[in-house]
Structure 1
Amino acid sequence: MKKKFIVLGILFAVFGFAKMNAQILSNKAMGALGKGVSGFTFSDADAAALAKESIAEMDANNPVAGPTDGYSIRLNRLFGKHASTDGVALNYKVYLVKDINAFACADGSVRVFAGLMDIMDDNQLLAVIGHEIGHVVNHDTRDAIKAAYKKEALLDAASSQSGKIETLTGSQLGKIGSAMIDSKHSRKQESEADSFSYDFMKKNGYDVNAVESAFRILQNLSEGAESSFITKMMSSHPDSGKRADDAKKRATKDGLYKEYVQQKIDNTAPAKATPKTPVKKKTTKKK
């Protein structure tokens, strides 16, 4: 794996910006940036264009599961019916790495790591990925890109004699990429994405108790050997235990709560049936 991903980064949208085409932003947005306008136009289309270039770079530099891989088959079985949610077109792929992670981008790209699929069953995966989709639908991913882009672009605009930015350099894009990887959604955004996940599960007839269960898994992991690292990393996010409690309260209020029992996890591809060789009948020659 050429890029290092943060363990347990499930609740963060992660983007890589290396070698990105700087001209994908609209001329209007670029002109506003050059003039130092604080509220420059940054549309959903601009954010999606940046994300699309980013995810293409990431896909090219990470082991992506092929269509016949068991991980891909499982993910497509779960989310094939959710190619579009709340007007957002979605696409899904699996990275064959052991990190426990999932993220979504402003263009609707959702990437799930094999490590996550190894520890969560179908309903728990639906809950976690539903959360990530929530960040896209709620425009959290767009706002995160905008903040990082504005910071780097305006710094250079302020120091430029002409005050006008025509293109972004590779160095600028690298700074934006680093800022995006280090960024974290606010507690409010995380809570709203949690609510989206619960509503997503309920609306589609899935077991809403898996939302609590997924957070319990994260809570248990945070209390293990990596607890100090995970606690530091998630310091700006709601506690997994509290989020589990909140999901339980909602399910109880809806009259749907029951203790969730994790189901079987199977990431293997179905065995191909071996065609039977027809048995030739013996014939006897007439004398």
Structure 2
Amino acid sequence: MKYITSLFFVLALASGVSRAQTTTNPSLMQALMEAVSSATLSDAQVAEVSRQAIKEMDAKNPVADANDPYTLRLNKIVSRHQTIGGLPLNFKVYKVPDVNAFATADGSVRVFKGLMDLMTDNELLAVMGHEIGHVINHDTKDAMKRGLKTSALRDALASGSGTVGKLAQSQLAGVANYLWEAKFSREQETEADDFSYNFLKKNGYSVMALATSFEKLAKQGGGQGGRIASLISTHPDSKVRAQRVRDRAKRDGLLR
């Protein structure tokens, strides 16, 4: 089993986070092949592939049920936010210990038990706001497009083997590895931070929740191994990001 090396989930193809698992099925791969063979990759295509992937992932993982305390807490936190930026959202909790969360292009938001244990309600909103920012800003779509254009799957299609059954497991793994490890630029990370800041400010939450979430991640980064390192390793320095939030809050008159 492999570990995600990025906080942000693009597509679930062949691996997972700690106990979070997914498998590849023919319908998902067919959707990928249709997307990669087209001249352009539309938002609708990205959303459909993401929808199929998250359906598989939910079926393979310990999802908190409707009456679970984690589900009840999350539902309370997000009760005002069923749609953001015109995107309908759906939320679930994965009962795994990793400090992680992700949002997909179809509006699915998955929060891990480990993150909920670490963060306050407003800090969870800040983290989810960042994740959703990557979707709203089309970062996930662009990462998927890059992955499909450069992956072994495209090579296989170009060679004429274009059926799921003829794709070698190593080729599928190559596609999965690229998409799992897709990294956003520093500019994209900053824009997603800004999206979260603006979301918190617009809805009357303390923007300092974004800063304190980064500060908690910075503290957790030492000695926690795979449970936290995947979240930290591919992002700009958490302390720097926290200070940037504090500086902006001062300029906006929200912090003295």
- The TM-score normalised by the length of structure 1 is 0.76
- Give the secondary structure class of the aligned counterpart of 1:98: coil
Whole-Å separation in 1 of the counterparts to 2:36 and 2:105: 19
Q: Please provide the CA RMSD for this pair.
A: 2.6
Do the aligned partners of residues 108 and 220 (structure 1) sit closer, same or farther apart at CA in structure 2, a change above 3 Å counting? same
Whole-Å separation in 2 of the counterparts to 1:253 and 1:47: 38
For 1:116, the equivalent position in structure 2 comes to 115
Deviations 1:156-190 (A, max 9, x none): 244x2x5x846684744443222211222211111
Do the aligned partners of residues 94 and 4 (structure 1) sit closer, same or farther apart at CA in structure 2, a change above 3 Å counting? farther
Do structure 1's residue 150 and structure 2's residue 156 form an aligned pair? Answer: no
Consecutive unaligned residues of structure 2, counting only runs of 5 or more, are: 14-23
Whole-Å separation in 1 of the counterparts to 2:57 and 2:104: 12
Do the aligned partners of residues 176 and 19 (structure 1) sit closer, same or farther apart at CA in structure 2, a change above 3 Å counting? same
For 1:98, the equivalent position in structure 2 comes to 97
Structure with bigger gyration radius? 1
Consecutive unaligned residues of structure 1, counting only runs of 5 or more, are: 33-39, 259-287
Do the aligned partners of residues 46 and 131 (structure 1) sit closer, same or farther apart at CA in structure 2, a change above 3 Å counting? same
- Give the secondary structure class of the aligned counterpart of 2:97: coil
Whole-Å separation in 2 of the counterparts to 1:12 and 1:25: 19
Whole-Å separation in 2 of the counterparts to 1:120 and 1:6: 21
What amino acid maps onto 2:220 in structure 1?
L
Q: Percent identity?
A: 47
Whole-Å separation in 2 of the counterparts to 1:30 and 1:244: 38
Do the aligned partners of residues 99 and 203 (structure 1) sit closer, same or farther apart at CA in structure 2, a change above 3 Å counting? same
Specify which structure has the higher proportion of helix.
Answer: 2
Task: Give the length in aligned residue pairs.
Answer: 242
Alignment of 1:1-287 (within 5 A): 5-6=3-4, 11-17=7-13, 18-21=24-27, 22-24=29-31, 29-32=35-38, 40-152=39-151, 153-158=153-158, 160=159, 165=162, 169=167, 171=169, 172-222=171-221, 224-226=222-224, 234=232, 236-257=234-255
Do the aligned partners of residues 227 and 72 (structure 1) sit closer, same or farther apart at CA in structure 2, a change above 3 Å counting? closer
CA contact under 8 A between 2:98 and 2:227: conserved in structure 1? no
Whole-Å separation in 1 of the counterparts to 2:4 and 2:55: 19
